């Protein structure tokens, strides 16, 4: 029997048996398009490249595709329909869940479909619906039907946990659903319940069997976590022997709230090593489509296949063609990026399709060549995975609007409270300066009294000094000093307080800074060998959050 199965990239020698190490090495040769560094284009180079590219694209509908500065064309849109989920998976969200936004902050059916039509006019031809859990959305069948009938859309997929899928699946298929991914991280009931924090294995497996009767191929998503479910990898592979399943092993990724730890990470090469140890030379590397996120394999003679989504250990950013819209209407150009633009606000503000297109293209222009590495990602702020669909503040940066421009925060809706902030700093003096301040013999006058007055005056000028700060009617500002003669240091503590709807942290920090600068100015004739250091906030209260450090509440 010929061993030419699928589009094999690797031909195995029959003259000798290769070691596991040799097999894995051959099976993990990266695709050249993922190895080559991306070259960023200048604005003029990009304009010319887009012009030439547009001539080559047969499916143009009058609107240019969304190209980034690396000439990646975006044809795939993922839309989260809800932040809610009936599972609490370890890798997706905290055990206690996440704060959910009000219903009126979520995209409506009509808004989802308008965005799909807009993206489709720019060449998007594949849409996948995610959550949360998308089957929680009551109008999901109508949304699928609306997307499937949108000119230019070829594929409509859904990623689901399968818990309540059977009640929707027939109608979804009739509405135009073409692809389905079902998440299942363990084939053992007990472990399944532990990883999802819910007892639903039987219902999910029933959904998988039902889906196989409706679709020629069903994809199963398996997030692999060390010491949790890596010992089931071969069991999942065995499912493909007589079933046309595509098992996708996903590397555990850091997201907000999932408490990612390096020792939980189980890379795809380790997974593949387990599989090769079991199946040897029957492991076949298949060819990947240009924009695939999955490295595809199969076992010789098995009906289905399997693959690895290697976001952490072997990124595929060079060929990324995906854009994401969160349930609350924010556009994310990268799954692991924390930069977001609110399309919802623009829709509700009356922006035209042309205006929306410009906003989207501007966001796409800012897409980076690749996301950060694993060690950096775990320390970067990002939404919990459930809120992405596969921080939302709008926008994520509070002093930046949805177009990326500087803006002052609207505090008109905030409650009026007594708000207090305390800042602390130090100036390191010379011995002579320290002694003369103590003796009050500085020629320019009483250093500490002048510095105190200067700090109060400085706090009152914050709105004039820092562009995006609000003018505040201060109720109290005070600065006190602690003189450490033995170490020739002068410590400064400034307190600011107001009854208002925004905090006074900047006023306290400014008061402290101005006080120390005044000390420097009054003493520099003696010596300029002084160092201002360690200016920091030690307390804030009265607002949405309370902050304390060093057990210093207020002075």
Residues marked active site are found at: 521
Tokens linked to 295: 């490295």
Enumerate the β-bridge partners of residue 482.
491
Q: Which of 153, 154, 214, 150 is nearest to 182 (CA)?
A: 214
Number of CB atoms found within 10 A of residue 181's CB: 19
Closest CA to 283 of 10, 31, 1: 10
CA 533, 535, 536 angle in degrees (round to 5)? 145
Residue 296, helix vs strand vs coil: strand
Q: In sequence order, which ranges of 353-502 are alpha helices (DSSP H)? A: 353-365, 374-377, 431-439, 447-460, 462-465
Eight-class DSSP state of 243: S
SS3 at position 495: strand
Cα 351 to chain centroid distance, Å, stands at 26
What is each CA distance from 419 to 186, 323, 408, 498, in whole angstroms? Answer: 50, 41, 19, 5
CB distance 233 to 206 below 8 Å: no
Phi, psi of 509 (to 5 degrees): -65, -40
Strand ranges for 123-258 from DSSP E: 126-130, 155-160, 179-183, 218-224, 245-251
Cα-based distances in Å from 47 to 62, 69, 341, 365, 403: 17, 10, 23, 12, 21
Least Cα distance to 235 among 215, 216, 220, 218 occurs for 220
Pairing relationship of beta strands 417-428 and 476-484 according to DSSP bridges: unpaired
> Which spans in 80-215 are helix H?
109-121, 140-148, 169-175, 189-196, 201-214
Distance CA 336, CA 74 (A): 17
CB 502 within 8 A of CB 525: no
- Contact call for residues 303 and 240 (beta carbons, < 8 A): yes
**167 three-state secondary structure:** helix
Q: How far, in Å, CA of 359 to CA of 351, rounded?
A: 10
Q: Is 416 helix (H, G, I), strand (E, B) or coil?
A: coil
The answer to whether 450 touches 522, Cβ cutoff 8 Å, is: yes
């Amino acid at each position: 029997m010929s061993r030419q199965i699928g589009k094999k990239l690797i031909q195995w020698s029959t003259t000798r048996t290769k070691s596991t190490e040799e097999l894995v090495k051959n099976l993990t040769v990266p695709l050249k398009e993922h190895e080559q560094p991306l070259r960023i284009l200048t604005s003029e180079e990009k304009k010319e490249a887009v012009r030439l590219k547009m001539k080559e694209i047969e499916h143009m509908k009058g609107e240019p595709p969304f190209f980034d500065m690396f000439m990646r064309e975006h044809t795939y849109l993922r839309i989260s329909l809800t932040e809610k989920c009936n599972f609490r998976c370890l890798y997706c969200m905290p055990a206690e869940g996440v704060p959910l936004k009000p219903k009126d902050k979520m995209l409506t059916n009509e808004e989802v479909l308008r965005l799909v039509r807009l993206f489709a006019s720019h060449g998007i031809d594949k849409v996948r619906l995610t959550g949360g859990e998308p089957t929680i959305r009551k109008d999901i069948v109508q949304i699928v039907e609306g997307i499937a009938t949108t000119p230019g859309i070829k594929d409509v997929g859904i990623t689901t946990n399968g818990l309540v899928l059977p009640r929707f699946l027939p109608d979804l298929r009739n509405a135009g659903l073409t692809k389905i991914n079902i998440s299942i991280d363990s084939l053992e009931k007990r472990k399944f319940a532990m990883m999802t924090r819910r007892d639903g294995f039987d219902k999910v497996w029933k959904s998988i069997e039902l889906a196989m009767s409706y679709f020629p191929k069903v994809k199963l998503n398996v997030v692999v976590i060390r010491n949790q479910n890596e010992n089931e990898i071969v069991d999942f592979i065995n499912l493909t022997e007589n079933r046309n399943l595509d098992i996708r092993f996903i590397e555990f990724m850091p997201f907000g709230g999932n408490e990612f730890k390096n020792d939980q990470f189980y890379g795809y090469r380790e997974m593949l090593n387990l599989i090769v140890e079991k199946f040897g030379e029957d492991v076949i590397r298949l060819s990947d489509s240009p924009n695939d996120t999955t490295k595809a394999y199969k076992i010789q003679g098995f009906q289905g296949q399997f693959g690895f989504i290697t976001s952490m250990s072997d990124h595929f950013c060079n060929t990324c063609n995906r854009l994401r819209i969160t349930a609350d209407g924010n556009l994310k150009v990268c799954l692991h990026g924390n930069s977001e633009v609110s399309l919802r606000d623009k829709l509700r503000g009356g922006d035209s399709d042309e205006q929306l297109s410009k906003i989207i293209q501007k966001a796409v222009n800012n897409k980076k060549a690749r996301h950060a590495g694993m060690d950096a990602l775990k320390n970067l702020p990002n939404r919990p995975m459930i809120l992405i669909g596969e921080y939302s503040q709008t926008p994520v940066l509070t002093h930046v609007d949805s177009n990326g421009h500087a803006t002052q925060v609207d505090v008109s809706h905030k409650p009026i409270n007594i708000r207090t902030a305390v800042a602390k700093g130090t100036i390191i003096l010379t011995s002579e300066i320290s002694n003369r301040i103590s003796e009050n013999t500085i020629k320019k006058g009483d250093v500490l009294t002048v510095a105190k007055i200067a700090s109060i005056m400085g706090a009152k000028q914050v709105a004039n000094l820092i562009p995006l700060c609000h003018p505040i009617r201060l109720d109290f500002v005070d600065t006190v000093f602690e003189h450490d003669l033995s170490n020739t240091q002068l410590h400064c503590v400034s307190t600011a307080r107001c009854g208002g709807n925004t905090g006074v942290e900047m006023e306290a920090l400014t008061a402290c800074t101005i006080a120390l600068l005044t000390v420097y100015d009054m003493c520099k004739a003696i010596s300029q060998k002084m160092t201002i250091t360690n200016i920091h906030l030690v307390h804030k209260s009265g607002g949405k959050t309370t902050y304390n450090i060093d057990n210093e509440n207020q002075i």
